[in-house]
Chains A and B, each alone.
Chain A
Amino acid sequence: NAGVTQTPKFQVLKTGQSMTLQCAQDMNHEYMSWYRQDPGMGLRLIHYSVGAGITDQGEVPNGYNVSRSTTEDFPLRLLSAAPSQTSVYFCASRPGTGDTGELFFGEGSRLTVL
Chain B
Amino acid sequence: GQQVMQIPQYQHVQEGEDFTTYCNSSTTLSNIQWYKQRPGGHPVFLIQLVKSGEVKKQKRLTFQFGEAKKNSSLHITATQTTDVGTYFCAGPPQGNEKLTFGTGTRLTIIP
Give the B-binding residues of A (Cβ under 8 A).
Answer: 31, 33, 35, 40-45, 48, 50, 58-59, 90, 92, 97-108
Contact = CB atoms under 8 A, between A and B. Distances in A.
Interface of B: 1, 4, 6, 9, 30-31, 33, 35, 41-45, 48, 50, 88, 90, 92-104
A101 B100 CA distance: 13
A42 B90 CA distance: 10
Contacts of B45: 102-104
B48 A41 contact: no
Contacts, number: 65
Contacts of A100: 30-31, 48, 50, 92
A103 B99 contact: yes
B42 A43 contact: no
B102 A99 contact: no
A104 B35 CA distance: 10
Contacts of B41: 107
Nearest to A106: B42
Given A59-B1, A100-B30, A108-B42, A42 B98 contact: no
Contacts of B93: 99
A108 to B, nearest CB: 5
A49 to B, nearest CB: 10
A97 B97 contact: yes
13 contacts: A33-B99, A42-B88, A42-B101, A43-B43, A48-B97, A50-B97, A97-B97, A99-B30, A99-B96, A100-B92, A101-B48, A105-B42, A108-B42
B97 A99 contact: yes
Contacts of B42: 90, 105-108
Contacts of A101: 48
Contacts of B9: 40
A34 B10 CA distance: 25
B31 A41 contact: no
Contacts of A105: 42-44
Nearest to B92: A99
